[in-house]
Structure 1
Amino acid sequence: MYRETIPLLSTTSAHLLAGLFAFTYVGSIYASKSARLRFSKRKVNLPEGQARLKLQAERWRDDPDVIKARLFAVSSATLICCMTVFIVMKNGNGDNATNVTPNAWLHLGFTWSNAWPLLITPLLYAGPLYVQFLEKTLPFQEGWDFEDDVLSRFFSIFGLRNYFVAPITEEIVFRACVLTVYHLADASQNKMIFLSPLVFGAAHVHHAWETYHRYGCTATAAKRAIISTIVQVAYTSVFGFYCCYLFLRSGSLVPPIAAHIFCNIMGVPQPTYEMSLLPHRKLSIVVAYLFGIIGFVCTLKSWSYTDRSLYWQ
């Protein structure tokens, strides 16, 4: 006789845990005094779009000591979130608690995927990559320098944050941990793809406070902070949809982490600006961008799937 499987978590519990993960991750950078930012409250009227200069007593996010403290904070927060998932699964599995460790690793995506999902994001960036080829700044072209483009960029404290710790810890927390608890609550694939990334987007709201102070603490600065935060939340949510899809389809953290790192390296595409720099290559740049977009759409479903994924049977 058919017996309905009872979810390990309720939907409410999954929501609460997802919120807890976000609070733990973002809150970690405010829990320590050495990781917190410090700004002058003095109002400064500035030309539109111009940020003010940093004062000596202030602490901004790109200060090396702030970066070091925040790297430690988010790494610790990530470990706490993973441990929470283990505890939840252990308490919910009862007599099967001895199998929790391998099962939790599998749920969190700590497994390898095949190479195809790793190629989807570079394909989408065919346009920007083509522009770099024209400018001869791709690896081993004449405009590329190993010391500047590899050692200085990736192996500095800024590179450690931008290309290693931040993307890896964010994907572990906002993809692996969040999607695991929703999966344990029997959430549908669509809900996990389109609702859970909103947690990731909301986790970027706190940047508004920094923007407001950097641009002078005026009404104009507040307007800029609101607009930039809305754009950032929208962008990170859309990016989250994509990374959730990669995670669920592949069952591995490797594809979303690779996509996150690659996007951080490439930045936001700027086709209009690129065509203004290379007007004689305008048509070929448009073709390269269209090729990347069409290729992305055509390969996303087939290249992202791994038959070992427990999320996409």
Structure 2
Amino acid sequence: ILPTWLGLPPSPILSLSAALRALLVTALLFLGPLAIELGNGNARPWVLSIFGELKTLIGVRNYVVGPLSEEFVFRACMVPLMQLAGFGKVAIVLGLPMFFGIAHLHHMIEYYNLGGRTSEALRRAVLVSALQFGYTTVFGWYSTFLFLRTGHLAAPLVSHMFCNVMGFPDFSVLQAGAKDRTVNLARFVIGVLLFATLLGPLTDPALFQSAYHGFDA
């Protein structure tokens, strides 16, 4: 029973299905950035650069160890604890990721030291850390939603890995005067619309025999 509550049910086929569906819907959200990265003959160099990073300790940390450890702690361990403590799904989805965001604030010290420990370095470190807290919290909402919907740790895990690979979207391509601005804007909008349309059907709890079915997000 415990592995099931941790998002590790004895069904590799369903776990694979949850992972692939979560990856698909997450990729749709990044349709604009993906089209830019993979277009104009950049696909092969981009993919090779990712595999190149995986050969380094930093790459393994960013794309494998980090997502795995964070999803296990903040989703597999903390979600069932909060549920058993009597918290509702809204409190879990919106509240729990705050801890996930706070867990990234230690990077402020790293940014401050790299910036030379000056007042300007401190200002930049605070701004960057605030932005990072914001988007890691938002991702935490999404990741917790996936975990509760599917009941499989694989779903938020592959989404986390994919998001780390993609990084924060480059919205400068949407600025006035940017090359192919209209095309890129259309890609971004279509991706968001497809994401919003398919998120529910692709993560339907009835598809995964989730331990959280009936308590889904």
TM normalised by structure 1 equals 0.61
Pairwise CA RMSD: 2.0
Q: Alpha-carbon deviation of 1:234?
A: 1.0
One-letter code aligned to 2:126: I
Q: Which residue of 1 aligns with 2:12?
A: none
Contact 1:136–1:144 at 8 Å: present in 2 too? no
The 1:162–1:185 alpha-carbon spacing in structure 2 relative to 1, beyond 3 Å, is same
In our comparison, the structure showing a higher alpha carbon Rg is: 1
What SS class does the counterpart of residue 159 from structure 1 fall into? Answer: helix
Higher helix share: 2
Alignment of 1:215-294 (within 5 A): 215-273=115-173, 279=179, 281-294=180-193
Q: Which residue of 1 aligns with 2:30?
A: 125
Question: Deviations 1:148-188 (Å, cap 9, x if unpaired)?
Answer: 442x2222212211111111111001111111100111311
Q: Which residue of 1 aligns with 2:202?
A: 303
The 1:198–1:264 alpha-carbon spacing in structure 2 relative to 1, beyond 3 Å, is same
Contact 1:117–1:255 at 8 Å: present in 2 too? yes
Find the aligned partners of 1:144 and 1:163 in 2 and give their Cα distance: 15
The 1:144–1:236 alpha-carbon spacing in structure 2 relative to 1, beyond 3 Å, is closer
Contact 1:207–1:229 at 8 Å: present in 2 too? yes
Q: Alpha-carbon deviation of 1:196?
A: 0.4
Name which structure has the greater RCO, CA cutoff 8 Å, separation 6+. Answer: 2
The 1:149–1:206 alpha-carbon spacing in structure 2 relative to 1, beyond 3 Å, is closer
Contact 2:149–2:213 at 8 Å: present in 1 too? yes
Find the aligned partners of 2:163 and 2:184 in 1 and give their Cα distance: 19
The 1:176–1:145 alpha-carbon spacing in structure 2 relative to 1, beyond 3 Å, is closer
One-letter code aligned to 1:127: G
1:188 maps to 2:88: yes
Q: Which residue of 1 aligns with 2:62?
A: 162
Gaps of 5+ in 1: 1-102
Gaps of 5+ in 2: 10-14
Find the aligned partners of 1:261 and 1:276 in 2 and give their Cα distance: 32
Identical positions, percent: 32
What SS class does the counterpart of residue 129 from structure 1 fall into? Answer: helix
One-letter code aligned to 2:187: A
